[in-house]
Chains A and B, each alone.
Chain A
Amino acid sequence: GIQVEQSPPDLILQEGANSTLRCNFSDSVNNLQWFHQNPWGQLINLFYIPSGTKQNGRLSATTVATERYSLLYISSSQTTDSGVYFCAVEGGGADGLTFGKGTHLIIQP
C-alpha cells in the first residue's frame, strides 16, 4: 500500500515563530488531507488538498502531486497551535486514508 512519511516527528518553537511540516507519499493520490488532532482526540480538518495551494488565515498548504509531497505552513505560531498534525492520503485503490505518524508540535509562550 501507499506509504506516508511526515517530518519532523517533533518540533518545539517559541510563540510567534513560523514552521513548515512536510509529508512525503509513495504513489499518486486522489485525496490528501491535513488534520490537527486536539487534546481530546478529535481530528480537525485543516486542508483538503490533493494538489495545488490553499490558505486559511495563518495556515497554508501546498501539494506537489507530481513530486509526491505536501507542505503545511504555520505562521506566527500561537500556543493553541500545539498538538499533533497528521497528513493522510488515499491512493487510487480508494481503500481509505493512510495516515502518517504525525508531527508533534509544541509552541512555548
Chain B
Amino acid sequence: KAGVTQTPRYLIKTRGQQVTLSCSPISGHRSVSWYQQTPGQGLQFLFEYFSETQRNKGNFPGRFSGRQFSNSRSEMNVSTLELGDSALYLCASSLGPGLGTGELFFGEGSRLTVL
C-alpha cells in the first residue's frame, strides 16, 4: 500500500511569508504527527493529530499550527516565516493512539528554505 505522502517536496519562501505543507497518511492510519529537523536542533516534535483533534504539541511558537481533515489528511502552516524556520519538515502516520502514538511511518519530507 502507498506510504506517507508529503507535498511539496521542496519550496523556497522569503521572510515574513507563510507556508502550508500537506501530508496524506497511510490508508487506514488515523494519527498524523509532524516533526522538524534542523542541523542545530535535530529532530523535534511539532504536534500530533487524531480524529481531527490536536492531541499533543511540542515546544514551538504559535506561528506553527496544523489541522487534520476528516479523511485523516493533515496540513501544517507556518506564518511570518523566519530564517530559522528553514528545515526539513517530516510527517508521520500511525494507526492511532493506544499506549502512546504507536509505530510511526514517515514520509519523505518537505524541505523548506527561507531567504
A binding-site residues for B, Cβ under 8 Å:
30-31, 33, 35, 40-45, 48, 86, 88, 90, 92, 94-99, 101-102
Given A30-B100, A31-B100, A102-B42, A96 and B48 touching (CB < 8 A)? Answer: yes
Q: Which B residues touch A45, using CB under 8 A? A: 103-106
Q: Which of B33, B92, B103 meets A48, CB within 8 Å? A: B103
Given A42-B109, A102-B42, A97 and B104 touching (CB < 8 A)? Answer: yes
Q: Which A residues touch B42, using CB under 8 A? A: 99, 101-102
Q: Smallest CB-CB separation from A31: which chain B residue?
A: B100
Considering the chains assembled together, what is the distance between the CA atoms of A33 and B43 in angstroms? 14
**B101 interface residue, CB < 8 Å from A?**
yes
Q: Which of A33, A41, A92, A96 meets B109, CB within 8 Å? A: A41
Q: Which A residues touch B105, using CB under 8 A? A: 45
The 8 A-B pairs with the shortest beta carbon distances in the complex, nearest first, are A96-B45, A30-B100, A99-B43, A48-B103, A43-B106, A31-B100, A90-B100, A42-B108
Q: Which A residues touch B108, using CB under 8 A? A: 40-42
Contact yes or no, A31 B58, CB < 8 A: no
Contact yes or no, A31 B102, CB < 8 A: yes
Identify 9 residue pairs between A and B in the complex whose beta-carbon atoms are under 8 Å apart, listed by A's number. Answer: A30-B100, A31-B101, A33-B104, A35-B106, A45-B103, A95-B45, A97-B33, A97-B43, A101-B42
